[in-house]
Copies of this chain bind each other. A is one copy, B any other.
Amino acid sequence: MRSSAAQTSRSASLFAALGDETRLRLVVRLSGGGALSIASLTEGLPVTRQGITKHLQVMEHAGLVRNHRRGRESLWQLDQRRLTDARKYLDLISKQWDDALARLKRFVEE
């Protein structure tokens, strides 16, 4: 099973979406399960509402969050599938690593 270039590229943008402190804090908040409005997500963070909006859009492009409108509010929630994708990718890398070490060990012990 090879990790294709497309796969790598997609994963990179996913990790990039997680690789910003503000965004990661948003993810943590959203991991509570609820769908939160932009205004409520902005609360407590040292960034403008517009800034938060941009971050949410970045995450949306990475497939990390979805949003739907309810009245005048824009509600955002996590899409856990992408989170799972990220975990799987890391699992894959770790597995290759472990396998390589196992092979090395067998080789040395012969």
Contact = CB atoms under 8 A, between A and B. Distances in A.
Contacts of A93: 27-28, 31, 83
Interface in A18-41: 18-21, 23-25, 27-28, 31-34
Interface string A1-26: 00100001101111111111101110
A97 B14 CA distance: 18
Q: Chain A contact residues (Cβ within 8 angstroms of B): what range?
A: 35 or more
**A contact face: mostly helix, strand, loop, or mixed:** helix
Copies of this chain, whole number: 2
Nearest to A100: B33
A104 B77 CA distance: 15
B3 A96 contact: no
A103 B101 CA distance: 42
Contacts of A16: 15-16, 19-20
A75 interface: no
